[in-house]
A and B are shown apart, each in its own frame.
Chain A
Amino acid sequence: MSLDHATVRRIASLARIRVEEHEVETLRTELNSILGWIEQLNEVDIEGIAPLAGAADTAQPMRADVVTDGGYVEKILANAPERIGDFYAVPKVVE
Chain B
Amino acid sequence: MLTDLTIAEARDGLRAKTFSAVELTTAHLDAIEALNPRLNAYITVTHAGALEQARAADAALAAGTQRALTGIPLAIKDLFCTEGVRTTAGSKMLGPFVPPYESTVTAQLLRDGAVFLGKANLDEFAMGSSNMTSAFGPVESPWKRRQDETAVLVPGGSSGGSAAAVSARLAMGATGTDTGGSIRQPASYCGLVGMKPTYGRCSRFGVVAFASSLDHPGPFARTVRDTAILLGSMAGHDPKDSTSAFLPVPDFEAACARGVKGLRIGVPREYRADGMPSEIEALWQQGLDWLRAAGAEVVDVSLPHTRYGLATYYIVAPAEASSNLARYDGVRFGLRHDGEDLRDLYERTRAEGFGAEVRRRVLIGTYVLSAGYYDAYYLRAQKIRALIRKDYTEAFTKVDALLTPTAPSAAFAQGENMDDPIKMYLNDVFTVPANLAGVPAVSVPAGLDSNGLPLGLQVIGKPFDEETLFAVAGAIEQAAGFDAVPQVRAGGK
Q: Which residues of A contact B (CB under 8 A)?
A: 1, 3, 7-8, 11-12, 14-19, 27, 30-31, 33-35, 37-38, 40-42, 44, 46, 49-58, 60-61, 63, 72, 75-76, 78-82, 88, 90-93
| Closest A residue by C-beta to B325 | A15
**Interface contact A91-B380, CB-CB below 8 Å:** no
With A17-B350, A38-B377, A78-B98: A51-B382 Cβ-Cβ less than 8 Å? yes
B46 vs chain A, min Cβ distance (A): 19
B343 close to A (CB within 8 Å): yes
B354 contacts across to A, CB distance below 8 A: 17
CB neighbours of A50 from chain B (8 A): 383, 386
- A-B interface, 9 closest residue pairs, ranked by CB to CB distance from nearest: A55-B438, A51-B382, A79-B333, A81-B336, A54-B213, A18-B347, A52-B386, A75-B100, A18-B351
Contact B360 A15 (CB under 8 A): no
Contact of B389 among A44, A55, A92 (CB under 8 A): A55
Closest CB of chain A to B416's CB: distance in Å? 18
- Provided the pairs A49-B387, A79-B334, A91-B339 are in contact, do residues A18 and B243 lie with their beta carbons within 8 angstroms? no
* Interface hit among B33-41, B106-114, B311-319, B477-485: B311-319
Q: Which of B243, B315, B422, B463 contacts A54 (CB 8 A)?
A: B243
Task: Say yes or no: A31 contacts B382, CB within 8 Å.
Answer: no
Given contacts A42-B380, A81-B331, 7 further A-B contacts (CB under 8 A): A16-B326, A16-B346, A17-B347, A37-B314, A60-B242, A61-B242, A91-B344
A3–B422 Cα distance when bound, in Å, is 18
Closest to A46 in B: B383
B242-262 CB contacts (< 8 Å) to partner A: 242-243, 245-246
- Is the CB–CB distance between A58 and B363 below 8 Å? no
A33 touches B384 (CB 8 A): no
A11 and B332 within 8 A (CB)? no
Q: Quick one: which of A7, A27, A53, A91 contacts B382, CB cutoff 8 A? A: A53
Chain A residue at smallest Cβ distance from B387:
A49
Q: Is there a chain A Cβ closer than 8 Å to B96's Cβ? A: yes
Residues from chain B with a CB closer than 8 A to the CB of A76 are 100, 332
Residue of A nearest to B198 (CB): A55
Contact B387 A33 (CB under 8 A): no
Determine whether the beta carbon of A27 is less than 8 Å from that of B346: no
A56 close to B438 (CB less than 8 A): yes
On whether A17 and B383 interact (CB within 8 A), knowing A55-B389, A61-B242, A78-B98, the answer reads no
Please give the distance in Å from B235's CB to the nearest CB on chain A.
Answer: 15
In angstroms, how far is the closest chain A Cβ from the Cβ of B404? 19
**Can you give 8 A-B contacts (C-beta < 8 A)?**
A11-B366, A14-B370, A31-B367, A46-B380, A49-B384, A55-B214, A55-B435, A79-B332
Whether the Cβ atoms of B305 and A44 lie closer than 8 Å is yes
Q: Which of B342, B380, B437 contacts A55 (CB 8 A)?
A: B437
A91 touches B242 (CB 8 A): no
Which chain A residues lie closer than 8 Å to B359 at the CB level? 17
Contact of B213 among A7, A49, A53 (CB under 8 A): A53
What is the CB-to-nearest-CB distance from A8 to chain B, in angstroms, rounded to a whole number?
8
Tell me the B152-203 residues at the A interface (CB within 8 Å): 199-200
B residues lining the A interface (CB < 8 Å): 96-98, 100-101, 199-200, 212-214, 239, 242-243, 245-246, 305, 308, 311-312, 314-315, 322, 326, 329-336, 338-348, 350-351, 354, 359-360, 362-364, 366-367, 370, 373, 376-377, 379-387, 389, 420-422, 435-439, 463
Task: Give every chain A residue within 8 A of B385 (Cβ-Cβ).
Answer: 51-52
Q: Which chain A residues border B345 with CB–CB below 8 Å?
A: 90-91
**Chain B nearest CB, measured from A75 CB (Å):** 4
Say how far B240's CB is from chain A's closest CB, in angstroms.
9
**Chain A residues near B314 (CB, 8 Å)?**
34, 37-38
A91 cross-chain contacts in B, Cβ below 8 A:
338-342, 344-345
B residues within 8 A CB of A58? 200, 243, 245-246
Point out the residues of chain A lying under 8 angstroms from B463, CB to CB: 57
Are A18 and B363 CB-contacts (below 8 A) given A34-B421, A38-B314, A58-B245?
A: no
Bound CA span A60–B305, Å: 28
Closest chain A residue to B464, Cβ basis: A57
- Judge whether A81 and B330 touch: CB under 8 Å: yes
- The answer to whether A56 and B200 touch across the interface, beta carbons within 8 angstroms, is yes
**Contact in complex: B383, A49 (CB < 8 Å):** yes
Q: Which residues of chain B are within 8 angstroms of A12 by Cβ–Cβ distance?
A: 363
Chain A residues with Cβ under 8 A from B387's Cβ? Answer: 44, 46, 49
| Bound-state Cα–Cα, A63 to B97, Å | 31
In the bound complex, CA of A38 to CA of B190 (Å): 30
Q: Which residue of A is nearest B378, CB measured? A: A51
Question: B347's closest neighbor in chain A, by CB?
Answer: A18
Closest to B212 in A: A54
State the Cβ distance, A18 to closest chain B Cβ, in Å: 4
Q: How far is the CA of A91 from the CA of B354 in the complex (A)?
A: 22
Q: Across the interface, which residues of A come within 8 angstroms of B329, CB to CB?
A: 16
Other-chain residue from B97, B100, B366 in contact with A15 (beta carbon distance below 8 A):
B366
B363/A41 in contact, CB under 8 A: no
In this complex, what residue of A is CB-closest to B373? Answer: A1
B386 touches A38 (CB 8 A): no
A63 to B463, CA, bound (A): 25
Q: Is the CB of B364 within 8 A of A31?
A: yes
CA distance A64 to B467 in the complex (A): 34
Q: List chain A residues, Cβ under 8 A from B315.
A: 38, 41
Roughly how many angstroms separate A13 CA and B384 CA in the complex, as a whole number?
A: 29
- Inter-chain CA distance A56–B347, complex, in Å, is 34
